[in-house]
C-alpha cells in the first residue's frame, strides 16, 4: 500500500509477486498501481502445512460461514457484518506439495470497505488443532519476539483487527491467523468504462457511427433472406499494437482513456423473411459470442430459426480484445510477459464500446438505410428501433452484464450461461485447461500461477462483470437508465460453472425462478410469472458433478443446451418483449433431456 496524491494505491513488493520464466524473475506490480484496493471478486488465499478443512464452511455452502462458530470468518470492518463464503482447496495445486486454501466470497466483496479475515479451529488429519505460527502467536498474545515486523504491527492489529473481531464475537484466544485488506472502491473499478461510454456517445451523437455496407448476400438458409456485412467507424481509445499485439489506452491528463482515431468494426445484420415480408416492424437482437469466439457464432441455425419465428434482425460483431483474433495475443502475454496481463482488458473495453456504438447506430443512422433489399416496400425501415434487445451466451452473457450496465439504448437483455469473478470462472472451467498447460511451462510451480489467477481478480477488476453488476437493475451509473436482465443457467455447465452464475445473480440482486432445480443460496425463490430481473436454471438430466472442486465433466457439458431448447427460447423472447418471466415448465422444476 502506498500513499499517493490520488489517495492510497496498491504497492506490491517485487519479492511478493509470482516468479516466472527462465531465468526466474518476479512479476512486477506496475499494472496494479492504479488500484486503490483489491478487486471485489478476489479469492482469499493462504497455505497451512498439514491442514485439512474438516469443519470449515463446505464448498458451495456459504450459509455455514455465517454461523457464530464458523472456522473461517470474513468480517466487514466498516459495518461489523459477516460476509458469506466457503473454504476449499485449490484443485490446481492439490497433489503438488502444500495446496492453496481458498476462501471464496459468495458475493462481491463490499466496495471500498476493509475486510478482516480470521481463521480458527483448523485441524490436521488426526483432528488436532494446528498451532499458530510463532509470529502470529506473538502478535495475538502480546508476547515479546525478535521476529521482524511483529512489533511494527502491534498497535494497528490491536485497534483494527483484534478489536473488531472481538466485537463480532470471535474469541481472540482461538485465532490461528488473522489479517485485513481493503477492497477497491466502486469508482476506481467502473469509472473508466463510464467515462469511455460518455466520451463515445458525445462523439457519435444520436446518429451513431458512420458505416459502409460492404456486402448484402443471400445465405442459403430458409430462415434468413439476406445477410448484410458492414464496417462501422467507431471512435478509438486504443494506441497501436506492440510487438506482441498488446494495445493500450490513450490517456488524458487525468489518466482516463481519450479518443484518438477510429476502429473499423465489421458487423453483420441478418434479415429473416418474417421481418422483411411480415408487414409489421421487427426487432433487433444484438448477439454476444462465446469465449474468444467471433461474430460468426451469430449465424447458428438455432438463432436464425429464432429470428424468423420471433421476428428480429441479428446484429453481430467480434468482441474486440476477447475474440478469436486475440487468442495469440493472450497466449504471448501470459507466457512471456505475465506482468502485463491486466492490460489485456483495455482492448476488451474498446470491444464493449464497439457494441454500444452499434446499438446507437441501429437507433440512428441505419434507420435511413436505402438498400431496397433491407427496407420495406415503402422504403421504410423493417425494424422498430425501440425493439432493440441484447442476448449473449458464455462470454457473451458475461460481458453482456457489462454492456447492460452501460447501455443507454437497450432496456432488456438475456445473459445466457453468464459468469464473472474471473479467477473463479476460469479455475472451474474446462476451457481453462489449455491455458493451464501453457502456464505450467511459464511458472516454476502451480502455486505461482494460481497466485496469478488470484491477482486477476484485481488486475481485471475494472472489467469484471461483478464490478458493474450492482448497477444494472438498481443504483444505475450516472447517465444510465435502469435495466432488466434474465440470467439463463444450465445445470452442470462445464464451461461456466453454475456457482459463478449464481454469484453474478447475487451481485445483480435477482431472485431465482421457482420451482428450483437446486438450492441457490442468496437468490430469493420467486414464483412465476414475475415482472423484472430474475435467474432461471434448467436441468438437462445429467448427474451431479462428483467433485465440486473441479469443473463438471466435459462429457456432461450443458453449456450449449439451453440456447437450443424451444421452451427456453420462448421464455427468453417473452421476457425481452414484455419484461415478464413466464413459467415454461408446467409448474415443475425445469428438467429436459438434452435438445
Question: Does this model's pTM top 0.95?
Answer: yes
**What confidence score (pLDDT) does residue 435 get?**
82
Domain-terminating residue out of 350, 374, 393: 393
Note whether 180 and 213 are same-domain residues: no
Q: Is 367 exposed, middle or buried (0-12, 13-18, 19+ CB in 10 A)?
A: middle
Residue with cell 476462501: 103
* In-domain check, residue 144: yes
Asked if residue 399 is part of any domain, the answer here is: no
470 near 385, Cβ under 8 Å?
no
Distance CA 307, CA 569 (A): 11
Verify that 213 and 260 share a domain, yes or no.
yes
pLDDT for the residue numbered 357: 99
463-493 burial code (b ≥16 CB/10 A, e <16): bbbbbbbbbbbeeebeebeebbbbbbbbbbb
The pLDDT value recorded for residue 375 is 96
| pLDDT value, residue 296 | 98
Same domain, 147 and 222: no
The verdict on 224 and 311 lying in the same domain is yes
Residue 416 lies in a domain: no
Q: Give me the helix-helix angle, 327-336 and 344-363, nearest 10°.
A: 160
Residues in the chain with pLDDT < 70? Answer: none
Residue 545 lies in a domain: yes
Q: Which pLDDT score is estimated for 297?
A: 98
**Are 31 and 103 within one domain?**
yes
* pLDDT given at position 439: 84
Q: Quick one: pLDDT at residue 437?
A: 82
Q: Are residues 256 and 371 in the same domain?
A: yes
Query: Residue 345 in 3-state DSSP?
Result: helix
Q: Which residues span the domain enclosing 272?
A: 209-329+336-393
Is the domain of 122 the same as that of 176? yes
Distance of CA 433 to the CA centre of its chain: 18
Nearest of 391, 390, 399 to residue 292 by alpha carbon: 399
- Tally of CB atoms within 10 A around 185: 17
Query: Which pLDDT value is given to residue 412?
Result: 99
Answer yes or no: do 468 and 572 share one domain: yes
The answer to whether residue 509 is domain-embedded is yes
388 in any annotated domain: yes
Q: Are residues 27 and 160 in the same domain?
A: yes
The residue among 393, 417, 437 that closes a domain is 393
Q: Tell me, yes or no, whether 257 and 361 share the same domain.
A: yes
Reference 180, options 119, 246, 241, 137; nearest CA is: 119
Does residue 135 lie within any of the structural domains? yes
- What 3-state class would DSSP assign to 228? strand
The answer to whether position 268 is within a domain reads yes
Both 141 and 221 in one domain: the answer is no
The whole-number pLDDT of residue 192 equals 95
Q: What CA–CA distance (Å, rounded) separates 489 from 527?
A: 17
Residues 220, 152, single domain; the answer is: no
Handedness of CA 214, 217, 221, 225 (dihedral sign): positive
Number of domains in the chain: 3
Question: Pick from 357, 116, 138: which is nearest to 259 by CA?
Answer: 357
Amino acid at each position: 500500500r502506498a500513499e499517493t496524491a490520488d489517495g492510497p494505491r496498491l504497492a506490491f513488493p517485487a519479492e511478493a509477486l509470482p516468479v516466472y520464466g527462465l531465468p526466474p524473475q518476479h512479476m512486477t506490480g506496475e499494472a496494479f498501481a492504479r488500484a486503490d484496493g483489491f478487486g471485489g471478486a478476489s479469492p482469499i488465499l493462504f497455505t497451512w502445512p498439514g491442514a485439512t478443512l474438516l469443519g470449515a464452511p463446505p464448498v458451495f455452502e456459504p450459509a455455514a460461514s455465517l454461523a457464530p462458530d464458523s472456522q473461517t470468518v470474513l468480517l466487514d470492518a466498516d459495518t461489523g457484518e459477516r460476509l458469506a463464503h466457503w473454504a476449499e482447496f485449490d484443485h490446481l495445486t492439490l497433489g503438488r506439495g502444500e495446496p492453496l486454501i481458498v476462501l471464496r466470497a459468495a458475493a462481491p466483496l463490499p466496495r471500498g470497505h476493509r475486510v478482516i479475515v480470521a481463521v480458527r479451529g483448523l485441524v490436521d488429519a488426526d483432528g488436532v488443532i494446528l498451532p499458530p505460527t510463532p509470529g502470529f502467536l506473538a502478535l495475538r498474545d502480546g508476547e515479546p519476539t525478535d521476529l521482524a515486523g511483529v512489533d511494527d504491527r502491534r498497535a494497528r492489529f490491536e485497534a483494527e483487527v483484534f478489536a473488531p473481531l472481538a466485537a463480532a464475537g470471535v474469541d481472540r484466544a482461538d485465532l490461528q491467523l488473522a489479517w485485513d485488506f481493503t477492497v477497491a472502491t466502486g469508482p476506481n473499478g467502473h469509472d473508466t468504462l463510464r467515462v469511455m461510454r460518455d466520451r463515445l456517445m458525445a462523439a457519435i451523437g444520436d446518429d451513431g457511427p458512420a458505416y459502409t455496407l460492404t456486402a448484402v448476400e443471400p445465405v442459403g438458409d430458409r430462415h434468413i433472406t439476406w445477410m448484410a456485412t458492414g464496417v462501422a467507424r467507431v471512435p478509438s481509445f486504443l494506441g497501436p499494437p506492440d510487438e506482441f499485439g498488446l494495445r493500450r489506452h490513450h490517456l488524458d491528463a487525468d489518466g482516463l482513456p481519450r479518443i484518438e482515431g477510429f476502429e473499423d468494426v465489421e458487423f453483420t445484420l441478418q434479415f429473416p423473411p418474417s421481418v422483411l415480408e411480415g408487414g409489421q416492424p421487427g426487432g433487433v437482437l444484438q448477439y454476444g459470442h462465446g469465449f474468444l469466439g467471433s461474430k460468426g457464432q451469430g449465424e447458428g441455425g438455432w438463432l436464425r430459426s429464432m429470428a424468423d419465428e420471433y421476428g428480429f434482425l441479428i446484429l453481430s460483431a467480434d468482441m474486440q480484445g476477447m475474440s478469436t483474433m486475440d487468442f495469440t495475443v493472450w497466449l504471448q502475454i501470459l507466457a512471456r510477459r505475465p506482468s502485463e496481463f491486466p492490460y489485456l482488458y483495455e482492448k476488451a473495453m474498446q470491444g464493449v464500446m464497439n457494441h454500444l456504438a452499434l446499438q446507437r447506430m441501429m437507433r440512428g443512422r441505419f434507420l435511413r438505410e436505402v438498400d431496397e433489399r433491407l427496407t420495406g416496400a415503402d422504403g421504410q425501415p423493417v425494424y422498430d428501433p425501440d425493439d432493440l434487445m441484447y442476448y449473449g451466451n458464455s462470454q457473451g452473457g458475461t460481458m453482456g452484464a457489462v454492456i447492460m450496465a452501460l447501455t443507454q439504448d437497450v432496456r432488456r437483455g438475456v445473459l445466457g450461461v453468464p459468469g464473472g469473478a474471473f479467477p473463479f470462472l476460469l479455475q472451474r472451467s474446462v476451457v481453462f485447461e489449455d491455458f493451464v498447460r501453457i502456464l505450467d511451462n511459464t511458472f516454476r510451480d502451480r502455486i505461482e500461477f494460481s497466485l496469478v489467477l488470484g491477482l486477476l481478480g484485481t488486475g481485471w477488476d475494472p472489467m469484471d462483470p461483478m464490478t458493474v453488476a450492482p448497477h444494472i437493475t438498481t443504483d444505475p451509473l450516472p447517465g444510465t437508465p435502469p435495466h432488466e436482465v434474465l440470467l439463463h443457467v444450465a445445470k452442470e455447465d462445464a464451461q461456466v460453472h453454475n456457482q459463478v452464475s449464481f454469484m453474478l445473480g447475487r451481485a445483480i440482486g435477482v431472485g431465482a425462478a421457482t420451482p428450483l432445480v437446486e438450492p441457490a443460496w442468496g437468490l430469493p425463490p420467486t414464483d412465476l410469472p414475475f415482472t423484472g430481473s430474475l435467474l432461471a436454471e434448467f436441468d438437462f438430466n445429467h448427474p451431479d458433478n462428483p467433485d465440486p472442486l473441479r469443473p463438471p465433466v466435459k462429457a456432461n457439458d450443458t453449456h450449449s443446451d439451453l440456447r437450443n431448447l424451444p421452451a427456453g427460447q420462448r421464455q427468453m423472447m417473452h421476457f425481452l418483449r414484455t419484461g415478464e418471466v413466464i413459467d415454461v415448465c408446467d409448474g415443475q422444476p425445469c428438467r429436459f433431456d438434452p435438445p
